[in-house]
Amino acid sequence: MNAPNQVPQAVIDALRRGDKMTAIKLVRELTGDDLKAAMQMVQQVATQLQVQGKDHSGPHTTPETKGQRESREHTQDIMAGRRVPTVMPGDKGGRGLVWWLLIVLAAGWFFFGRG
């Protein structure tokens, strides 16, 4: 049962989705094999599917969303040096918000809390 045409369709579908865990569980249920044998069998079937060109899983077949594309392009721009990253390695966190909060609290105490 290690040729793709002898493997149940549910196992092949799980592998095409990239869900090896489910494929291994299905193989173990159907054959009664131990975990190691089921893993080896699933790996063989996955390799055969990839060689035959029947494996449609992966990042290149799923359409990229606008957000994913923008994130990828932003990361590529930063890595290529075309855009300065927002935070540089070694930067310390800004304390502007803390100072602003302290000033507001001091002003509130000065105007409203002294009396």
- Three-state DSSP string of the chain: CCCCCCCCHHHHHHHHCCCHHHHHHHHHHHHCCCHHHHHHHHHHHHHHHHHHCCCCCCCCCCCCCHHHHHHHHHHHHHHCCCCCCCCCCCCCCCCHHHHHHHHHHHHHHHHHHCC
32 part of a folded domain: yes
Q: How confident is the model at residue 55 (pLDDT cuts 50, 70, 90)?
A: very low
Q: Is the pLDDT reported for residue 72 higher than 70?
A: yes
63 part of a folded domain: no
Instruction: State the average pLDDT over residues 6-10.
Output: 85
Q: Name the residue range of residue 35's domain.
A: 9-52
91 part of a folded domain: no
Q: Would you state the pLDDT for residue 68?
A: 86
29 part of a folded domain: yes
- 88-110 tens-digit pLDDT: 677 776 777 888 899 999 999 98
99 part of a folded domain: no
Q: What is the count of structural domains for the chain?
A: 1
44 part of a folded domain: yes
Q: Is the pLDDT reported for residue 60 higher than 60?
A: no
19 part of a folded domain: yes
84 part of a folded domain: no
Q: Would you state the pLDDT for residue 37?
A: 92
Hey, what are 97's tokens? 């918000």
- The CA–CA distances, whole Å, from 51 to 1, 48, 56 equal 18, 5, 12
